[in-house]
Structure 1
Amino acid sequence: MTTRQPSPPGRTTAPRRAGDRPHLADGLAAGTAVRVLAMRLVMLGVLAVSAFLSDGVLHAGSHWFILGGYAVSSLWIAATVRRRNSARLAWIATLLDAGLAAYIVLEFMMAASDGADEPGTMASRLPAFLLLLESGLTLRPRHTVVFAALVAGVWSGALGLGLLNPHLGLPPAGPQVFGLLSFVVAAAFVIEGAFRLRRGFAAMLRLEHERATLARFVPAGIDLVRRDGATVLQPRHACLLALDIRGFSALTRRWGEARVLDWLLAVRALAHAAVTEHGGLVDKYVGDGILAQFVDGTPAGQAAAALACVREIEARMERMNEARRRQDLPPLALTASLHAGEVLVGVLDDGLRAEFTVLGPAMNALARVEARAKRENLAVAASKRVMRLLGPDAPPARRLPRRPGEEDCPDLFGLEPVLMAQPSPVPTAVS
């Protein structure tokens, strides 16, 4: 049985189209327009209250101009949200908000020069800070940086002009410098928070995407997703199990392909159920062969689960063969080969096709273990490494002598089927 060919459609491979994988921008853009409109509606109410409370403080009609401009821009965004690119819409909203915030700051600076009170001056800064927060909540740090830079640039420019030319009638620089510094500090906190939230969302989306991808291949309860980096392929210890029907070609020639196919499907269903019940996962079906792996838990736990799975498969095969004998059908015999080692486990996805795979020297060694077990006509074969992992719980086994040409094959032990009424061999020490 080979171990690198693709499995049948619908099991471990799935066609993919380029661009199907969700990106962070797509995840964040989902619902952004609705959130922006909701925040703008709240801001519209705040500006309306501010305009009502500060009536008479600003230059004539200016606060109503601010309120009207913000309302018109919000209505325009709502009317065009379905026809415009979400990224472009976000930039337009950012620039409109920056322009509005800068206008509010300048207008209140001019009003302060005419004798506006301190509460009015403080209220003048509130829309700029709220618009800054609105920009940060979109989780687009670059937009927030641009917004803060534009507002702070206009604010500091006006202060500079007032210092260079006192005849412009701008208010004293002290309170305005404090307000500008407060805005810059607040912008730094908002930008840093947006970056943190964005990274958090990126990690969350990555984990969910990988779990959704692996869910097509890995049974529930086995988590192969790493939280500290990409998990396309990750090193992991695994106990590998290869199952093969002995004499399958002869059975096909004698009984015909159509009939033998039903037997093969029955064996696959039996093995799949046993592997899943013992915490393993079926990796591939190749011809009459089955490749399974146990990747959950400690290496010793993996080996124990794999051996228990083999014993369960033996018991189920014995019950199946009893039913077959009553139907005058030939019994089916399996060869189970066990090996363990470090492998690369994960999903290989080139954008066109995704496949769950296991790579590494242990996989190549498993193929040699399986070939040797077939030559020896063994029911169960386990490599020396598996026997070491089993430790005191290792079953009685006989060590197979090496033959010429088998130098690259791991040391192998033959385990007798537990259901065969034969005297148990003398336990062999694993050194």
Structure 2
Amino acid sequence: MTTRHPSPTDRDTAPRLAPDGRDDGLNLADGLAAATAARVLAMRLVMLGVLGISAHLSDGVLHAGSHWFILGGYAVSSLWIALTARRRNGGRLAWIATLLDAALAAYIVLEYMMAASEAADEPGTLASRLPAFLLLLESGLTLRPRQTAVFAAVVAGVWSGALGLGLLHPGLGLPPPGPHVFGLLSFVVASVFVIEGVTRLRRGVATMLRLEHERATLARFVPAGIDLVRRDGATALQPRHACLLALDIRGFSALTREWGEARVVDWLLAVRALAHAAVTERGGLVDKYVGDGILAQFVDGAPAGQAAAALACVREIEVRMHRMNAARRRDGLPALALTASLHAGEVLVGVLDDGARAEFTVLGPAMNALARVEARAKRENLSLAVSKRVMRLLGPAAPAGFRLPRRPGEEDCPDLFGLDPLPGPAAAPAPSPLPAVAS
């Protein structure tokens, strides 16, 4: 799972969602409008050219002066909207464009109806209806169902009103409704289909962008190859089995008092880098750092595989700590010791996003139990404590360990096994590159 940092052009033209990943009603349509402003302008100018040719060739066009004036005014206003779309309020411009489109379509239909009150020609009829249907489609492609509905209502209202006046008042020079009813009904049916389709398309695009938003958010926390996003719905948190690892530096407070905070912080950063490398190499992910503690999860694969990866990670950390401590001793620095605690169980995994801050987190009883495992391991001064559940998941591959007896007050702690640490560098496998040790 990888992400690409968007360029400034992408950010200006790409459809956007609200900070919580939801369609806020304007951002999605505004992004589409900004990205297609030039193409929409070209389509309108082509349509105006067709209307101009039709008006020039038709002998029966009335009010020729007003016709050319209105077409010219519409062309100028379309150009102005296209040029200012990026700098002005997108929602307000969209309403202006919708009303201008509706006015032009209604005017062309009405003008032709008056001109063709006695005889209608087929090319003129098609040209008069062209703006209504093309601009209906253009309005739908902006993914603004309400504005598409307003456009359709204005055009259909003027169209039906003219037909009604022609029927009630024949002396007005309007044509009888018969020849034009089919065109009106066709426009109404097309409007219903376009509005319904746009509504469904908008929902689908918003859902797709929300899922992409969640994937992009998770990519900030989760290594490549671990997919925590469902493909069929919202994914804020979802239940998964996980093997949980907690690491702490033993005696960190005493080290801070003796050596000073500035030097100890460098040591802490070196341990974090070492642990992070081992966790990610074994397919896990580091959840968070808390003081001198590190919390990691293994959520990929089957439960048994998670447990095996977590134990292998701890062993790799021990090997690397041996090498780090050998270098520290040569520099006259004290060795660092870690306490590792392993537990497994069902948890809720995902990103909690309140709109102001997004945080990858793991929740559930298993996390609470891990805290108790960690506390008990510290009391026992263990290098590695493993819960009974993890030992069962390891199966025959589980290493030999000693069971810790329960003490008063530890009834809510899982059954634990202590594992012996790996021997020193002499028995360790061949070295691998280590992060630089800061002193």
1:305 is the counterpart of 2:309 = yes
- Counterparts in 2 of 1:359-374, with a 5 A limit? 359-374=363-378
How far does the alpha carbon of each residue in 1:8-55 deviate from its partner, in whole angstroms, 9 at most, with x for none? xxxxxxxxxxx8667632243136256345313322222222321343
State how far apart, in whole Å, the 2-side matches of 1:388 and 1:157 are.
79
1:188 is the counterpart of 2:189 = no
On the 8 A contact 1:57/1:116 being kept in 2, the answer is: no
1:143 corresponds to: 147
Query: What SS does structure 1 have at the residue aligned with 2:119?
Result: coil
Greater CA drift, 139-148 or 336-345: 336-345
- For 2:394, which of 390, 395, 399 is the aligned residue? 390
Change over 3 Å in CA distance of 1:312–1:175 after alignment to 2: farther
Change over 3 Å in CA distance of 1:388–1:417 after alignment to 2: same
State how far apart, in whole Å, the 2-side matches of 1:174 and 1:393 are.
87
State how far apart, in whole Å, the 2-side matches of 1:303 and 1:391 are.
10
- For 1:231, which of 228, 231, 235 is the aligned residue? 235
Greater CA drift, 295-304 or 23-32: 23-32
On the 8 A contact 2:404/2:416 being kept in 1, the answer is: yes
1:342 corresponds to: 346
On the 8 A contact 2:369/2:413 being kept in 1, the answer is: yes
2:437 corresponds to: none
Greater CA drift, 130-139 or 393-402: 393-402
1:244 is the counterpart of 2:248 = yes
How far does the alpha carbon of each residue in 1:49-100 deviate from its partner, in whole angstroms, 9 at most, with x for none? 2321343242141542442232132144246546631101100110111111
1:379 is the counterpart of 2:380 = no
1:428 corresponds to: none
> How far 1:129 sits from its partner (Å)?
0.5
Change over 3 Å in CA distance of 1:223–1:70 after alignment to 2: same
1:121 corresponds to: 125
Greater CA drift, 276-285 or 124-133: 276-285
1:5 corresponds to: none
Percent identical? 79
> How far 1:350 sits from its partner (Å)?
3.4
> How far 1:211 sits from its partner (Å)?
2.9
- For 2:418, which of 389, 414, 417 is the aligned residue? 414
Query: What SS does structure 1 have at the residue aligned with 2:116?
Result: helix
> How far 1:220 sits from its partner (Å)?
2.9
Query: What SS does structure 2 have at the residue aligned with 1:344?
Result: strand
Change over 3 Å in CA distance of 1:273–1:147 after alignment to 2: same
- Which structure 1 residue ranges, 4+ long, deviate > 6 Å from structure 2? none
State how far apart, in whole Å, the 2-side matches of 1:46 and 1:85 are.
26
State how far apart, in whole Å, the 2-side matches of 1:98 and 1:37 are.
20
The one-letter code matched in structure 1 to 2:62 is H
State how far apart, in whole Å, the 2-side matches of 1:411 and 1:82 are.
63
State how far apart, in whole Å, the 2-side matches of 1:288 and 1:34 are.
49
State how far apart, in whole Å, the 2-side matches of 1:350 and 1:200 are.
23
On the 8 A contact 2:166/2:174 being kept in 1, the answer is: yes
1:102 corresponds to: 106
Q: Provide the aligned length of Structure 1 versus Structure 2.
A: 403
CA RMSD of aligned residues (A): 2.5
The one-letter code matched in structure 1 to 2:61 is L
Q: Taking structure 1 as the reference length, what is the TM-score of the superposition?
A: 0.85
Greater CA drift, 76-85 or 315-324: 76-85
How far does the alpha carbon of each residue in 1:326-345 deviate from its partner, in whole angstroms, 9 at most, with x for none? 34443322111011122233
Gapped runs of 5+ residues in structure 2?
Answer: 1-17, 426-439
- Counterparts in 2 of 1:14-413, with a 5 A limit? 24=23, 25-30=26-31, 32-33=33-34, 35-36=36-37, 38-54=39-55, 55=57, 56-61=59-64, 63-78=67-82, 80-81=84-85, 84-413=88-417
Change over 3 Å in CA distance of 1:148–1:275 after alignment to 2: same
State how far apart, in whole Å, the 1-side matches of 2:150 and 2:89 are.
19
State how far apart, in whole Å, the 1-side matches of 2:346 and 2:35 are.
49
Greater relative contact order (Cα < 8 A, sep 6+)? 1
Query: What SS does structure 2 have at the residue aligned with 1:195?
Result: helix
The one-letter code matched in structure 2 to 1:73 is S
Query: What SS does structure 2 have at the residue aligned with 1:113?
Result: coil
2:11 corresponds to: none
> How far 1:168 sits from its partner (Å)?
4.0
Gapped runs of 5+ residues in structure 1?
Answer: 1-18, 422-431
Change over 3 Å in CA distance of 1:33–1:385 after alignment to 2: same
